[in-house]
A and B are shown apart, each in its own frame.
Chain A
Amino acid sequence: MQNAKPGDRPLSDPLSQDMTTPGAVISARGLSLTFQTNDGPVHALKDVSLDIKKGEFVSFIGPSGCGKTTFLRCMADLEHPTGGSITVNGVSAQEARKARAYGYVFQAAGLYPWRTIGGNIRLPLEIMGYSKADQAERVARVLELVELAGFEKKFPWQLSGGMQQRASIARALAFDADILLMDEPFGALDEIVRDHLNEQLLALWARTGKTIAFVTHSIPEAVYLSTKIVVMSPRPGRISDVIDSPLPKERPLEIRDTPEFIEIAHRVRDGLRAGHGYDD
């Protein structure tokens, strides 16, 4: 696990918090989140520290209850930590959210059934007050990016599940946020569609240079996509291993049969087992 070393390098922004690591887009320090339930407190996250650097593709993997989604929601200011600190782009998660610093992709596409695909992608742009011409240009561009050009006038129910999820990714890309937070976006899709979308996502990441935080419960998916794999374990939710992937940036699907890939997958599996084994 990386530790913050404030003062190693001069901070570019004097207002940045001391705890923030220079160059980190997302920086969590001792982050804790405890839910109060009728059965007593649940420690969704306990003392989690992590830095995500610009342009990284970081996957969070772990069994259910390990806090991976909660962690992502803390980055998005959809959950409020009860302890520790988290900064996004050097400011608090709330300020980052209000500055529209990230696009968020949920497990379900969640497209509005009463809007066309184009209308759905236009939704954030309308809310953020982009001009009509700018909206049209951006919709066309992101549809191209997720290979859905020509589907602008279709309604969501006319598209397959995989296409709907691509449209929801396009919606998150439409307003040029540098960070993409993805919460098991392909979890509900079948293996073949998933492979295809993984390939497309990597291509998209290479083209846009975005910083991506990606929650998944699939080991091959995490290893295939990521430059960094964060293995988490439950009760309390914490990070049990952080693996920097030695795989090259250029990754055909066949890379999954190479010894390097298998070795990383093995390490992830070990990490999951170690974190999981002690109480069930």
Chain B
Amino acid sequence: MKRFGPVLVVVLTIFAIWYVGSFLMNRTWVMDQAARAGTDPGFTEVLRDTMNQDRAKLPAPHQVAAELYDGVVNKKVTSKRSLVYHGFITFQTTMAGFVLGIVAGVVLAVAIVLSRFADLTLMPWAIISQTIPVVALAPMIVVLANAAGAGSLLVPKAIIAGYLSFFPVLVSMVAGLRSPGGMQLDLLRTYGASPGQVFWKLRLPASLPYFFASLKIAVAASLVGTIVGELPTGAISGLGARMLIGSQFGNPMIMWSALFAAAILAAMLIWIVSGIEKIAVRMMGGGQT
């Protein structure tokens, strides 16, 4: 209970601010309607009318919750209006991008740590890559992937997700692989260890805590990359596409429910990655030094 107390306070505060915001933003429409009808509604009537508009500027939390529930439970998972369907498309791409990002990040980090040449040539480009707005890059990646014969949107979307998620893995792995101190390296030197043995016996295991810490950031970045990939690329499925549809058809409820579906998906992914991290830490001696 001690753990949930503060979380509950924050959530309740957010809901309170949200309700106040809904009231203030949706009031204009209620007043306009009233003026047109020539009536003078009291406060309770205005309040009631701001909380259940179909096309509210800012839908109230309970409306979003209802829409979310409807989209998850009441629609068949094969339906184009099911959030489970769209969420699964996004999840799939996120995982593909995540794996791509991990592989790219680890391979580049190993190269950078083992080779001074790679350190000098690759690292600056890796940093520059993150300064380019991915929204600008996404359509180009889609065009190039199609030209290369990718067939579906999965590949370019996964590349965009991997493009965002490789960087935290790279930076953490470089730090992790370089974390063994002079004494640890001297010790292996006294054993006459080969560079390969130094890597497998010392550098790699020493980097694993850094690796797992970076996975949480990488999985979130991969999800963001996937949704960004779904926005400007003409995708028709995925939570990002759903948000765009909501925006284009002037239906904020679709946008908000897709947004929350994405947030719930992110929470689930991070929870799973944290679980894997905990198991790994336990297998590596409890993580204490």
Q: Could you tell me which A residues sit within 8 Å of B by CB distance?
A: 76-78, 97-100, 102-104, 106, 108, 110, 112-116, 123-124, 126-128, 155-157, 175
- B192 contacts A157, C-beta separation under 8 Å: no
Using Cβ atoms and an 8 Å threshold, which residues of chain A touch B286? 155, 157
Q: What chain A residues lie within 8 Å of B205 (beta carbons)?
A: 112, 114
B117 within 8 A of A: no
On whether the beta carbons of B201 and A127 are closer than 8 Å, the reply is yes
Number of A-B contacts (CB under 8 A): 61
Q: How many positions in chain B have a CB within 8 Å of any CB in the partner chain?
A: 22
Are the CB atoms of A126 and B201 closer together than 8 Å?
A: yes
Residues on the B chain within 8 Å of A110, using CB: 183-184, 187
Q: Contact check, A102 vs B183: say whether CB atoms are below 8 A apart.
A: no
Q: A113-B285, A113-B288, A157-B285 are in contact. List 6 more A-B contacts (CB 8 A).
A: A98-B192, A102-B190, A112-B206, A114-B206, A114-B208, A115-B285
The interface residues of chain A lying within 8 Å CB-to-CB of B187 are 104, 106, 110
Q: Mark B184-197, 1 if CB is under 8 A from A, else 0.
A: 10111111110001
Task: List 8 interface pairs A-B (beta carbons < 8 Å), by A numbering.
Answer: A77-B189, A104-B190, A113-B288, A114-B285, A115-B285, A128-B191, A157-B285, A175-B191
For B182, the closest partner residue in chain A by CB is A78
Given A110-B184, A114-B208, A78 and B189 touching (CB < 8 A)? Answer: yes
Complex Cα distance, B288 from A256, in Å, reads 39
Residue among A97, A127, A155, A175 making CB contact with B197, cutoff 8 Å:
A127
For B184, the chain A residues whose CB sits under 8 A away are: 110
Judge whether B39 is part of the interface by a CB distance below 8 angstroms: no
A100 to B191, Cβ gap below 8 A? yes
Instruction: Name, among A77, A106, A112, A115, the residue most crowded by chain B CB atoms within 10 Å (CB to CB).
Output: A112
Q: With A and B bound together, what is the CA distance between A124 and B192 in angstroms?
A: 9
The main secondary structure of chain B at its interface with chain A is helix
User: What residues of B have a CB within 8 angstroms of the CB of A97 in the complex?
Assistant: 189-190, 192
Query: B131 an interface residue at 8 Å Cβ cutoff?
Result: no
**Which residues of B lie under 8 Å from residue A175 when comparing CB positions?**
191
Name the contact of B288 in the complex, choosing from A104, A108, A116, A157 (C-beta under 8 A).
Answer: A157
Quote the shortest CB–CB distance from A49 to chain B (angstroms).
Answer: 24
Residue of B whose beta carbon sits closest to that of A123: B201
Across-interface contacts of A113 in B (CB, < 8 A):
284-285, 287-289
Task: Determine the residue in chain A with the shortest Cβ distance to B287.
Answer: A113
CB pair B289 A157 closer than 8 Å:
yes
Interface residues of B in 126-143 (CB under 8 A from A): none
CB-CB < 8 A to A106: which residues of B? 183, 186-187
